[in-house]
Structure 1
Amino acid sequence: MSGEPAASSPELSPDELAAVGERMLAAGAQLEGPLTARLIAGGRSNLTYRLDDGASAWVLRMPPRSGRTPSAHDVAREFRVTSALASAGVPVAPPVVLCEDEAAIGLPFAVAAFVPGRTVQSRTDLDDLDDVALEATVARLVETLAGLHAVDHVAAGLEGFGRPDGYAARQVRRWSGQWDIVGDPALSPLATELGGRLAAAGFEQRSTGVVHGDYRIDNTLLSLRSPEDGGPQVEAVVDWELSTIGDPVADVAMMCVYRHAALDLVLGFPTAWTSERLPAPDALAAAYEAAGGVPLVDWDRHLALGYFKLAVIAAGIDHRYRAGATHGEGFDSAARAVEPLLEAGLQRV
């Protein structure tokens, strides 16, 4: 991931870096000198540091030092799935070591090899791509997701990574319950109607595989090669903390839901993925199927579920913002995303 270090973000102390280095050496990594660390992402998710020893680079991921929840920020989960997928040919950052012993630095952490690449997060980042490069980039993104869903998760060693059946129904129950905790009472009639329709929808799950859960352009590392050099490529898919075993159709739907303009309000800035230069959701879905992805059964219902999920996520961000549990800019706009996302879900279901 890219971005400038945030001034308020915690640094890794020399003792902590030494402890990280010890675990890396024990896992077989070659270090040419003491490690240094630079924070390159943090805030809404895991903290991400670039580690350097003067000759090589790695990436360290760890939960925030405060505000952790038991199921979120699961670096062990990320490490397990990327270890399996690396052997299955999915582009991921090669894993190096997982340390779940919090005595080392006070938190669990995982280290992976550093993958050079570009992140395209904002509308400004997207301006660096001309129309030809953007079209090729979207094609590679869709092909990569189809390739992920083609992985035999049992053969890859991920049989117990999540429950294989009934994925959509569990998601409906989960996000309905979450709304009860964080939702705005004024919008509860909309949320209750959408959640009720989804609960009664009777999703048919014909496919099972690894679900990334948060797939869009800014959760990939890209090499923006010229057409003469083979064109843009996805060097690595990142941010696997929401991954599980489930219905791949839901993964495709979530990618398409993120195309809604309300994502800008959820994330607090004009995002690349909401740009009008990108294909519409149904065009992305068609491209995915053409790339060999799974049949998109119950497509409208999965889109509606995705809108519901994103609406609840936005409500949760606003809930924490109003409780004073967030720090920094970009959190104050999430509330305005909730109603249009619920309405979009009702239109689809």
Structure 2
Amino acid sequence: MPAAEALDEKRVSRWLAEHGLAEPVEFELIAGGRSNLTFRLTDAAGALYALRRPPTGGVLTTAHDMSREWRFVSALSGTAVPVARPLAYCADPEVTGAEFYVMGFVDGRVLADESEGRAFPPGARAEAGEQLVDVLVALHALDPVELGLGDLVRRTGYAQRQLRRWRAQVHATGAPELALLDDVHDLLARHVPQQSNGIVHGDYRPGNVAFGPDGGVRAVFDWELATSGDPLADLGWLAASWREPGEEIPAVTPTPSTVPGFPSRAEMVARYAARSGRDVADLPYWIAFARWRAACIGVGVRARYLGGHMADDGYQAQARAEETVRLAEAARNELEDMND
């Protein structure tokens, strides 16, 4: 997708000039398709920035929230959680058809999948996995109220809110997997553990992190799903994405975890428990929760694709449908085993 199809470059350039960038500004789309669009901006002085805006169609309710991303990036700037430097936020959709925000550009390796993991220096892989955990521990040690995010702290539990939200969204699609997803929903709803409260990123994984060549974390991105809730929800998502070699259950999202040199899932969880001091006894629930949530997200993505709201970027609807079923069935089996 050319940048011009998602941005009114003239109007955005004028807005950027009012916020400190030197015209002319060059735009390059570097990430997009099924989620928020990210552009690399280069101004006339050669300075690099990144601009984030929602996708151009098929936006799900409560998803792709630029104002929420901006709030979290701004609040976390200067903490032990590395984020890109926040620059400016535009709430006026008249500028380019949607809200957007601009931040500093962070150069780094994004370990989005196995191929990226294989291209990463072997000697830095263990460090990358460990730093990924350590930054998550740092995030979960922060108090959202002290960061000025008190109005985003919810009184209801994270699990209950997510169960309501995703069940409503998958029912809106009329997907053929509804009966299975409802079964898992009901099991999850009946067995919600006692929850603590902190900041939950919502999609914490190496594909949303920029790493340096030494394995250090340079920045955490994609805060659109961030909220208050039980930190074990993030650890469960990371653990459910951290597929082990030979496992048949799909990962909830691609990671480089099967590449030699990265820590095992057990090592990641043990490091989190040791560094955070948190009890991770309820982690199996949150792993099952992550698999159900990933299945619901997959149903939504497929609905957007079939509805013509996504470009034909190689998305394989049938294969993803099968993966959705396998994730949901794995979650159901885990919950039944936990509560026998």
Distance in structure 1 (CA, Å) of the matches to 2:22 and 2:307 = 46
Partner of 1:299: 283
Partner of 1:253: 236
How far apart are 1:55 and its partner, in Å? 2.4
Partner of 2:315: 331
Partner of 1:217: 206
Unpaired runs of at least 5, structure 2 = 336-340
Unpaired runs of at least 5, structure 1 = 1-5, 26-30, 226-231
- Relative to structure 1, the CA distance from residue 90 to residue 181 in structure 2 (aligned partners, 3 Å threshold; closer, same or farther) is same
How far apart are 1:146 and its partner, in Å? 0.5
Distance in structure 2 (CA, Å) of the matches to 1:293 and 1:10 = 48
Partner of 1:72: 63
Partner of 1:193: 183
8 Å Cα contact 1:118-1:223 kept in structure 2:
yes
Distance in structure 1 (CA, Å) of the matches to 2:165 and 2:53 = 25
- Relative to structure 1, the CA distance from residue 191 to residue 102 in structure 2 (aligned partners, 3 Å threshold; closer, same or farther) is closer
Q: TM-score, normalised by structure 2?
A: 0.88
User: How big is the alpha-carbon RMSD for the aligned residues of Structure 1 and Structure 2?
Assistant: 2.3
Partner of 1:308: 292
Partner of 2:48: 57
Residue by residue, what CA displacement relative to the aligned partner does 1:250-288 show, whole Å, maximum 9, x if unpaired?
A: 111011112347667x87xxx433525444444422221
- How many residues are matched? 327
Q: SS at 2:225's partner residue?
A: coil
- Relative to structure 1, the CA distance from residue 299 to residue 166 in structure 2 (aligned partners, 3 Å threshold; closer, same or farther) is same
How far apart are 1:299 and its partner, in Å? 1.6
Partner of 1:39: 29
Of 157, 160, 183, the match for 1:169: 160
Amino acid at match of 1:336: E
Q: SS at 1:98's partner residue?
A: strand
Q: SS at 1:76's partner residue?
A: helix
Q: TM-score, normalised by structure 1?
A: 0.86
Partner of 1:28: none
Distance in structure 2 (CA, Å) of the matches to 1:344 and 1:9 = 42
- Is 1:110 matched with 2:140? no
Distance in structure 2 (CA, Å) of the matches to 1:18 and 1:149 = 37
- Is 1:100 matched with 2:86? no
Distance in structure 1 (CA, Å) of the matches to 2:311 and 2:193 = 39
Runs of 4+ in 1 over 4 A off after TM superposition: 260-264
- Percent identity of equivalent pairs: 34
How far apart are 1:165 and its partner, in Å? 4.1
